[in-house]
Chains A and B, each alone.
Chain A
Amino acid sequence: MFFKMVFRALTRRKGKHLMTAFTVGLGVSLATAMLGVMFDVGDKVNRELKTYGANLSVIPRGSSVAGEKYEFADEADAEGAAGEEGAIDRSGHAGHAGHSGHSGHSVQDFLSRARIPEDELHKIKMIFWAYNIVDFAPFLSTTVFVGDNPVNLTGTWFDKRMVLPTGDEVETGVLPLKSWWEIRGEAGDDSLPLGVMAGETLARELSLEPGSSLEVSTPAGEKINLTVRGIFRSGGEEDNELLSPMKLAQDISGLGGLVDRVEVSALTTPENDLARRAAKNPGSLSRMEWDTWYCTAYISSIAYQIEEILPGVRVKAVMRVAESEGTILRKTQLMMLLLTLLTLLCSALAISNLVTANIMERSVEIGLMKALGATNLSVSLLILSEMLAAAFLGGAGGYLVGLGLARFIGLTVFGTAVEVKTVVIPLAALMVIFVTFLGSLPALRALLKLKPTEVLHGR
């Protein structure tokens, strides 16, 4: 009978309960979307934010990103550096001298700098925080000539697959690392040694189109016929360059198996005091602090671990970016949480109004039930069940709408498809119950106080 009454009240008072369902549905859909986005996008926001640039730059020790060392270009220095790093392969560079007229002493500088062996780079994916390394790509810059004009040709991995000693397969390169680049034509392919991509500015200067062929001469005077597979726009300096598979740049520069620098994008934990102290000097930490620091994905500890595993490199954190990533993510999540709570509060308020109106409207009916011998508890249960039933109906609908909304937010705001985690379902159910109870509370108090004598005799 109880369920019959609830059911009848639901079906024969459709309008009112639809309002309840709608209100709850609205709240739940927003909350679901927010929570879904919050849970799933945590990583994705980070991933999206990191696309504004790699947050770690790996360079050979004794080198510098800005290249201030160009003055020390004499043979002895270079030899010294080579001995120190033990990684320079200078075979086959003899021919460069012939072309030095083109580039002045920069070829000398170029040859004298320390480099990183390409075949050790996979180790970056084997540090403690390997799974936080999202992407990385090595770069080796050389100069080629189009007619008499020097053009930067940078060798890189476009999208390289490799198998780690651990058996894990890794796919990384400049394309995933710089996923925001706009590409016209085809992307570069590591297996096509003469296929290059041209930066937009350069392409305009040289009137290159996807599919064009381009003859360049190496500093050694060798002519090479390249195919321009695609044109990219990075918004950065790369727009003036040619990007080629690593092998080509190494062949041209005579630096087989070596790279200039590696850009790494890692998911990091926002910096705190500990991280800042460690970044200055890891030695200053106590044993415990050091463990904590090492086992947290601070950008400084990731940098430290890469330096550990690749001897002879220096890892520079691009701190500003890393910090703002963390801050933005935290703020975004906080904002979503706040919005979720506000949404729920608004729903509870709206529900409160609806339940109160419902009870006012039915005061006679409630008085009658009490007069017939219904206890406060049973009447409250009846009203609550009705509300909950309507609320759950709305909640289910709201959840479905919320899924769509989350997708929409994911796609439009973060440019990624959000998969709402299943944990959101029980959360949504809890929200429905919470909102309904909270909203019903004031009305239920009125219900308890309601005296049959006051409503039954039409005074």
Chain B
Amino acid sequence: MTENMMEIRDVSKIYGPLRALKNISLDVPPGQWLAVMGSSGSGKTTLMNIMGCLDTPSLGEVTLDGVRLAKLSPGELTAIRREAIGLIFQQFHLIGYLTALENVMVAQFYHSMVDEAEAFDALKKVGLGDRAKHLPRQLSGGEQQRVCIARALINHPKLILADEPTGNLDETNEGTVMEILHDLHDAGSTIVLVTHAPEVASHAERIIVLEHGRLVSDNAGKNGPPPADPAKSPGAAPANEAVGEASDDGAAIGDDAAVKAANAASDPGGLNPTK
């Protein structure tokens, strides 16, 4: 591991009087599964958009796989997004008048060339081989999310960004989705997962917490490898210390995290041991 997949240096995002992100610095090594937590409005989606080249920071620098994004034009950012990023959304965002298979093929189309067989394989991988010809409204929420995942994966992105992928799903479907993410992780994908739910975050090997746009907690290095098989009973048992503290009360995360942030404040650049 010579280089980080993503390097974020002193990034701020300013909306008028509001600073949605404040001097965030973060490195994500290749193959890491990172969970981003924080209360509503803390800047998780904003950070995710910047990572996914959907948005640009007001201040600071972002480097994706060795490429400094600040120097790129909107068109080049679009190209990077097309090549390197897989996006998974809380609301799935499937195109209503296209079948599951065609929804996957749209991503191929805007990336390069459509390949129906490959798209079908991707659907089979998420367990939807028999649903390929269904329209989104004929699919359950979990199935739709799996189509969304298949679409995100079809072009072999370097980085998978999932913004609350389980936010609209029940527990069973959440389990299925987490299983797929585990498979991806095992296959070496770099994953950034935004979530409110501690038991979802617990699947990740590293958890950071945002509070009012500040990075207040990062368990990188404190954690061992992820639990041996968390998918079997997601959230059933606290997987690690950091999540265990917060799992009973979401609102408490911020407070606890603030303390941790204070501890870590003296060494903001050295959060990541792999650097």
Contact = CB atoms under 8 A, between A and B. Distances in A.
A458 B168 CA distance: 12
Interface string B31-57: 000000000000001000100101100
Interface stretch (B109-117, B224-232, B238-246, B252-260): B109-117
A373 B110 contact: yes
Contact of A452 (B54, B82, B163): B54
Contacts of B98: 5, 8
Interface in B90-134: 90-91, 93, 95-98, 102, 105-111, 114
Nearest to B89: A456
Interface string B64-100: 0000000000010011011100010111010111100
A458 to B, nearest CB: 5
A457 B97 contact: no
Interface stretch (A88-96, A182-190, A324-332, A361-369): A361-369
Q: What's the interface size class on B, roughly?
A: 20 to 34
Contact of A364 (B93, B108, B111): B93
Nearest to B80: A373
B97 A8 contact: yes
B54 A371 contact: yes
A372 B55 contact: no
Interface string B150-174: 0100000000000100000000000
A451 B151 CA distance: 20
A451 B78 CA distance: 12
Given A1-B105, A12-B97, A13-B97, A371 B81 contact: yes
Interface string A340-382: 0000000000000000000000001101111111110010000
Nearest to B148: A368
Contacts of A8: 97-98, 102
A92 B1 CA distance: 130
A373 B106 contact: no
A372 B91 contact: no
Interface string A442-459: 000000000111001110
Nearest to A378: B110
B147 to A, nearest CB: 12
A9 interface: yes
A457 B90 contact: yes
Contact of B75 (A5, A375, A453, A457): A375
Given A12-B97, A456-B89, A457-B90, A375 B78 contact: yes
Given A372-B82, A372-B110, A365 B54 contact: no
Nearest to B75: A375
Contacts of A372: 81-82, 87, 106-107, 110-111, 151
B170 to A, nearest CB: 18
Interface of A: 1-2, 4-5, 8-9, 11-13, 364-365, 367-375, 378, 451-453, 456-458
27 contacts: A1-B105, A1-B108, A1-B114, A2-B109, A5-B102, A8-B97, A8-B98, A9-B97, A12-B96, A12-B97, A367-B93, A369-B110, A371-B54, A371-B81, A371-B87, A372-B87, A372-B106, A372-B111, A373-B78, A373-B82, A374-B110, A375-B78, A451-B54, A452-B54, A456-B89, A456-B91, A457-B45
Given A368-B93, A372-B81, A373-B82, 17 more contacts: A1-B108, A8-B98, A9-B97, A12-B135, A364-B93, A371-B87, A372-B82, A372-B106, A373-B78, A373-B79, A373-B83, A373-B110, A374-B110, A451-B54, A453-B55, A456-B54, A457-B49
Closest 9 CB pairs of A and B: A373-B82, A12-B97, A1-B109, A1-B114, A373-B110, A374-B110, A368-B93, A372-B110, A453-B49
